[in-house]
Structure 1
């Protein structure tokens, strides 16, 4: 009996150590984000943390964040998509062409952009999944094809202006009172979800973290939600693009963590042979990953075109690298099988923060490329080192 108790105690201590290690790893990104905010705030005389700049920051990160959500699934599945920047430009350009040149309504052009993005994602996914062409080659070709189609359709012109309702997608704000109501509802859902998860794990006989840990996290997240809402409401309110990112993130975090499809993607990326032997339809799931990536590229294209109130032939240029960098910085392994959407969102925020802070400091553009490139190299090196 005493031997069993000692074994249980050892296992509990081991589990606590694992839990602490995982928490430390996940919070490293948050610490890095705080350090970036403090450094830029000092060098900009506090301008970086002003309500206006924070609102601009969350709006600017929205396009890359949407792409990072889909890119996380692609990389976790063991693939890569180099075409998303060109696809963002193409879908946004098609939306502008349909509205400015052909008079389509806002709802119709948004729907068309997302569907066209998904269809082009289906086309690329078919080559990767059913014709076994490496995703790197397929999407590299797609990057050139989509950019060429955009130049051909637009005749090399800048297409503007968009209708007022379309502009509102990327440039409007949720008013103060609804913003606070949404924040309080989010906190209530967070508390309910935590209680439900603890109760579910208890009923299944699984290990439950200490109540102070779980509810401490809830308290920290709640404070952050209220603080962000307060800071954004000091300007015009919560930007609608930020709300779109939050909604898509919740949907795909649920899909990746709580559905069979999500678990299949992690299994395929972790060990494709084992996944096949387990009866997982690898081709169909890979196809769906690229369809989702294409649809999200359509959403990003709409957000970008709406925010700029125009479509240009260079729209979305190099966005694929920012999306990949956001995922890698957020802990997604380029080897596949590992990665979290929440981490990719923090990575997107870090990338946007660096761009935003260096712009406020009037640092020349070439330095921004250099810094982001070095960050990407270091992030991949850290991933490879942790694997070893």
Structure 2
């Protein structure tokens, strides 16, 4: 029990939102009479929040470096309009259109990153200008009207599912197999990490707590994949999300560039004096954000099956809220990709649960605002305590 309390105390910032997410899910599961965790609703929850989670991954890197990006919603709308023009009006191949859109998103990020990193204009001003510029360009491109429909192959990006090669009758067997394989891979990674820490003389969890951790990981993964397998299986967008989370988690934790991001956000002057090219780091983070905003816009357009002038409205606020709720610091230098995803899921589950309960949008906005305020207040109190 003492060891467990020490683990909780030492990791309260990292795991507090994960615990809060579990409590919120249990609460809404009870309040909605079990509707929240129905296979259909869980699948819809993933599809409805995928583009916000993608934005949250990029936004947390921006916030770690000590900046903010208010333009991501407008960039997503702009890229959605561009994709519609390329695929619907110009009949361009969907794959080529997606590549062009991602490249344009990276160029937009480079444009904003240049002003922030090299001209030293505050990111708030640059991205506020970007929000107005790209929203205006979107309205000009669409001329106030929606463009639809997209090719079916493009729509599958947001609404397609893995086919079951085993032809299961009541369960999607391929999804179950993927869940078992993913569970085995994560347990292997945990075991290898524990062995490495022991060889280096680093403190590790005692065997009982470590086994409980492995059991918890296996239960969550297998239970989640079973729920998905009970409906239509694993959606393509979930595979994309897992790949992005794994890549950016590895980038931030295991690479030199990832450590430079934290160093720049922690103390930019000290980072520059230690030899880090702080301007280039900031520039690349904004390029990355532009590309992820483009990807989010493509996914939203595919799900809506149309490019609309109002697309991306308030996406930036949801992404910023997800990053802060997930543990990112308002002062920079602190935050994780996993935390941002958890924060996004907290917002998504709350939206979904309150909608099922029939709460109006007014109450939903007010409650989400209180949750965001509480998360930032928790961050500040932790910083003072530290």
Tell me the secondary structure at the aligned position of residue 104 of structure 1. coil
Equivalent in 107, 110, 118 of residue 95 of structure 2:
107
2:4–2:209 CA contact under 8 A, matched in 1 = no
Match of 1:213 in 2: 209
Report the Cα offset of residue 162 of structure 1: 0.5
Match of 1:379 in 2: 375
Distance 2:66 2:280 in 1: 14
Match of 1:39 in 2: 27
Aligned ranges 1:1-388 → 2 under 5 Å: 19-174=7-162, 175=164, 176-388=172-384
Equivalent residue pairs, number:
375
Q: Which runs of 5+ in 1 are unaligned?
A: 1-12
Distance 2:345 2:107 in 1: 29
**Deviation readout 1:247-306 (Å, 9 max, x if unpaired):** 100000000000000000111111111111110000001111001111111111111011
2:252–2:259 CA contact under 8 A, matched in 1 = yes
Report the Cα offset of residue 17 of structure 1: 7.0
Tell me the secondary structure at the aligned position of residue 65 of structure 1. helix
Report the Cα offset of residue 199 of structure 1: 2.6
Pair 1:310–1:22, CA change in 2 (3 A) = farther
Report the Cα offset of residue 358 of structure 1: 1.4
Distance 1:215 1:111 in 2: 44
Report the Cα offset of residue 357 of structure 1: 1.1
**Deviation readout 1:344-367 (Å, 9 max, x if unpaired):** 111101101111111112211122
Pair 1:172–1:275, CA change in 2 (3 A) = same
Distance 2:32 2:200 in 1: 52
Tell me the secondary structure at the aligned position of residue 182 of structure 2. helix
Report the Cα offset of residue 244 of structure 1: 1.2
Distance 2:224 2:92 in 1: 36
Q: TM-score, normalised by structure 1?
A: 0.93
Match of 2:169 in 1: none
Report the Cα offset of residue 16 of structure 1: 8.4
Distance 1:118 1:68 in 2: 17
Q: TM-score, normalised by structure 2?
A: 0.93
1:87–1:143 CA contact under 8 A, matched in 2 = yes
1:126–1:287 CA contact under 8 A, matched in 2 = yes
Report the Cα offset of residue 42 of structure 1: 2.5
Q: Which runs of 5+ in 2 are unaligned?
A: 165-171
